[in-house]
Amino acid sequence: MNDEQVPDEVELALRKRLAELQQEHADLDASIDALGRLPIPDQLMIARLKRKKLTLRDEIVKIEARILPDIIA
């Protein structure tokens, strides 16, 4: 429920951070996929990367909520 508009300079910074997080999320996804394709996958490393990916996803959702206004249906 964002009743206030985000100032332009803050929104630009948020959008930049969002793009960085999305790229890091995609990179982690590629790393997880590559590790999973190894003959003997490192399950501990895969689990750590998945946790990091979930943390990034949470940050992405928070930033998107700040940037995008709530739409009342």
Distance CA 51, CA 42 (A): 15
For residue 36, the surrounding DSSP H or E stretch is helix 8-36
pLDDT at 1: 45
Q: Which residue has the tokens 């100032």?
A: 7
User: How confident is the model over 11-35, as pLDDT tens digits?
Assistant: 999 999 999 999 999 999 999 999 9
Q: Whole-prediction pTM value?
A: 0.81
Q: How many residues does the chain have?
A: 73
N-terminal to C-terminal alpha carbon distance within the chain? 13
pLDDT of 43 higher than 60: yes
- Amino acid 6 reads V
Give the pLDDT band (50/70/90) at residue 73.
low
Residues 6+ apart with CB under 8 A from 55: none
Give the pLDDT band (50/70/90) at residue 3.
very low
pLDDT of 37 higher than 50: yes
